[in-house]
Structure 1
Amino acid sequence: MVFPITKAYTAAMRIFYALTFDEKTLDTICAIQDSIEVLLDKGRRTVRPNLHLTLSFLGEQDPLLLPLFKEVLDRLPGNPICLQFTHLGHFDKAGGSIIWLGMKHNTDIQAIQEILVKDLRRNGISFSDTPFNAHVTLFRNARIAELPFLSAFRGKAQALHLMHSHQVHSVLTYTPLASNFLSEN
């Protein structure tokens, strides 16, 4: 993929690597959001197109580095990944909690994330080096008395992406800049 360096790509870009899900998995995640939403005192739902699992957050980056970021993505394993979602959790923040969907430890995701981090370090790319906690953000700025019980379910990962986080008409949007779809090969 060639990244055109146009006016849209001359300022620093907020970048991250993400794992996305197949439609059936997204349907289940959205149904879980529906069941939680009625219990919230407040909160902002993650819209369906933005549901993902962050593998590494790079933050503000120079768009001239996009070809390098794509090369890093291309070196990641592209095998299918089955997921087992098992629980809900939250990160407490000043304006309200982040409510997230957690999963059973997955060696495939862990391996991809470790390969990614090593490759980023080897290339001198700065990134958020916080401990990896595989989760899907469901709500931000949320207040809820108690999280409901979650019946575990299985899902499938669809693709690995290099994502651009930006505002489109004042709406948070995650735009894939490069993608590697996971296949059976």
Structure 2
Amino acid sequence: MRLFVGLSLPPELCQRLALAAGGVPEARWVAPDSMHLTLAFIGEVDGAAANDACEALDRVWGEPFDLALHGVGTFAQGTRPNVLWAGVRDSAALMQLQERIATALRRTGIAIEERKFAPHVTLAWLKADPGPRLGAWLADHALMGSEPWTVRQFHLYSSHLGSGPAIYRIEASFDLAEDAGEADDGDFRLESDD
């Protein structure tokens, strides 16, 4: 099972982001129902490790907080851009939640991706050099943003790869409580497909 921890986005925001799709050659745009903000990438694990991840994530605490998108950019592999993204306004609460999640998973012995956390929402994967059209798209959408929304929970997602785009499924959800003492002690167990 291939897993990651992330935040879902309001459906209306995903639809608005999808309206910006187009105009970049060689771009594979993310479908609105697949948009998310990754907090920690776990990767391929067995059922026991997946359940350990659930138990660790159930102990993560934090209060709900507001989040908003701001700006666009790219990540590159070498010198060639390969990911087109929407950025996130600076948020101390988001950074704290991500650090708590990463720490909880590492304490359980689950290895997560060590890359520095750069909060973003992937909009498109760039399969080849898009040329000058990419620069034009970035300039046209430089002020892309959103109204704030309140983050009240985070999720453990599974990622299913195939010949088409990856399919993401929420396996477990974890509420952020107004008071850390209110955290739910629910028993999260992943169902095995085997």
SS of 1:101's partner is: strand
Partner of 1:73: 57
Partner of 2:100: 115
SS of 1:97's partner is: strand
1:73 touches 1:160 (CA, 8 Å); kept in 2? Answer: no
Partner of 2:47: 63
CA RMSD of aligned residues (A): 2.3
SS of 1:118's partner is: helix
Structure 1 unaligned blocks of 5 or more: 1-12
Partner of 1:21: 9
Partner of 1:153: 146
Q: Which amino acid aligns with 1:45?
A: W
2:49 touches 2:110 (CA, 8 Å); kept in 1? Answer: no
Cα offsets for 1:126-184 (capped at 9, x unmatched): 11011000100011126323302224322323531111110367441111111124465
Greater than 3 Å deviation, 4+ residue runs: 93-96, 167-171, 181-185
Q: How many residues align?
A: 169
2:70 touches 2:89 (CA, 8 Å); kept in 1? Answer: yes
Q: TM-score, normalised by structure 1?
A: 0.80
Q: Which amino acid aligns with 1:164?
A: S
Q: Which amino acid aligns with 1:109?
A: L
Residue identity (%): 28
2:82 touches 2:125 (CA, 8 Å); kept in 1? Answer: yes
Partner of 2:169: 175
Question: 1:33 deviation in Å?
Answer: 3.2
Tell me how far apart the structure 2 counterparts of residues 113 and 82 of structure 1 sit (CA, whole Å).
15
Which structure shows the higher strand fraction? 1
